[in-house]
Amino acid sequence: MGASITIDTEYVQPQLAAAYLREEGGEVAFIEANTTHALPRLLTALDQAGLYPEAVKYVIVTHVHLDHAGGASALMQACPNATLLAHPRAARHLIDPTRLVASAKQVYGEEAFEALYGTIEAIDPARVRSLEDGERVSLGTANFHFLHTRGHANHHFVVHDELENVVFTGDTFGLVYPALQRARRFAYPSTSPTDFDGPAAIASVKRVVDLKPRAVALTHFGQFEDVPPIADQLIHWLELSTRMAEEGAKSGDEQGTLEQRFKWKLDQEFELAASRAGLTLNEADRQLIRFDSELNGLGLAIAALKQRG
């Protein structure tokens, strides 16, 4: 199989969240697990590649947010020989997801949580391995190099497939939705709660660029070879977001006020960014963007409050 296969998990809607299937020398890895509901699609991709669940050596999650790791327990149950690879700060929540699940249910409610994520179960600690910054693991003749990348989440890493020279970026390298790529490249970051750190996020983007990858494989969504233009857009957005959080910290305004102000500013920036990309936004585009705008505004509001101490 060689190069990785992009799997559309159809999370919420098509081409919103991807997982990746990588085989080398008869050994298989899934990068990202999405949610429990994605399991049939992941196993179908495995079968269509002529591979079996017993061949899966690794299930890798870039961080523990549920659109990346919510399906890890189900995928591990389906792949009896797999080891789960995670950031040290993420591993404990995969071994015991009690707090993770309780927090998500508090936000979404029981019914919406089940519809989005399904059942999340504990994973045997003996099957979970934490990866420190700079560690490598082998997949057949390929080496995967793990680099910790803060900014979006404090428990995030990216995975550099050194043989293919592709970086699986999770949320570190932003969001590039195929539906918005009708003109020039249109990319923007995720500054969602609760760990947004602007300078760390910028450093993480630059760390990916410094690897000089042939391509980046984004969870949201797909593989792209024009790495520098994506990075330039992300850094512009992250510098703006950093200034917004700093101004919010100095303002003394409460969270709700900050959220509304930040969302308004982000909405304006989306229109400007679309114009720079030669993209005329339609209602479906704005609906796609709206969720990220609201989530990013909330993340910046929380970041501003944290800066106050």
* Prior bond of 113 cis (ω within 30°): no
Please give the model's pTM, rounded to 2 decimal places: 0.96
Asked if the 2-164 domain carries CATH number 3.60.15.10, the reply is yes
Q: How far apart are CA 38 and CA 76, in angstroms?
A: 13
Task: Supply 81's token pair.
Answer: 């020989």
User: Residue type for 135, please?
Assistant: E
Task: Supply 275's token pair.
Answer: 């114009």
Q: How far apart are CA 127 and CA 261, in angstroms?
A: 45
Mean pLDDT, the chain, integer = 95
Q: Is a pLDDT exceeding 70 seen at residue 255? A: yes
Give every CB contact of residue 162 below 8 A, 6+ residues apart in sequence: 142, 143, 144, 145
Mean pLDDT, residues 293-301 taken together: 94
Crossing angle between the packed helical segments 227-251 and 283-308, to the nearest 10 degrees: 50
Write down the pLDDT at residue 108: 80
Q: Is a pLDDT exceeding 90 seen at residue 294? A: yes
Task: Output the 3-class SS for the chain.
Answer: CEEEEEEECCCCCCCCCEEEEEEECCEEEEECCCCHHHHHHHHHHHHHCCCCHHHEEEEECCCCCHHHHCCHHHHHHHCCCCEEEECHHHHHHHHCCHHHHHHHHHHHCHHHHHHHHCCCCCCCHHHEEECCCCCEEEECCEEEEEEECCCCCCCCEEEEECCCCEEEEECCCCECCHHHCCCCCCCECCCCCCCCCHHHHHHHHHHHHHCCCCEEEECCCEEECCHHHHHHHHHHHHHHHHHHHHHHHHHCCCHHHHHHHHHHHHHHHHHHHHHHCCCCCCHHHHHHHHHHHHHHHHHHHHHHHHHHC
The sign one gets for the Cα dihedral 19, 23, 24, 28 is: positive
- The pLDDT confidence band at residue 263, using thresholds 50, 70 and 90, is very high
User: Residue type for 101, please?
Assistant: V
In the chain, domain spans: 2-164, 229-308
- The pLDDT confidence band at residue 236, using thresholds 50, 70 and 90, is very high
Write down the pLDDT at residue 1: 63
Residue 16's nearest CA partner among 271, 245, 284 is 284
Burial 251-289 (b: 16+ CB within 10 A, else e): eebeeeebbebbbebbeebbeebbeebebebeeebeebb
**Cβ–Cβ under 8 Å, residues 172 and 158:** yes
pLDDT digits (tens, 9 = 90+) for 123-181: 999 999 999 999 999 999 999 999 999 999 999 999 999 999 999 999 999 999 999 99
pLDDT digits (tens, 9 = 90+) for 41-82: 999 999 999 999 999 999 999 999 999 999 999 999 999 999
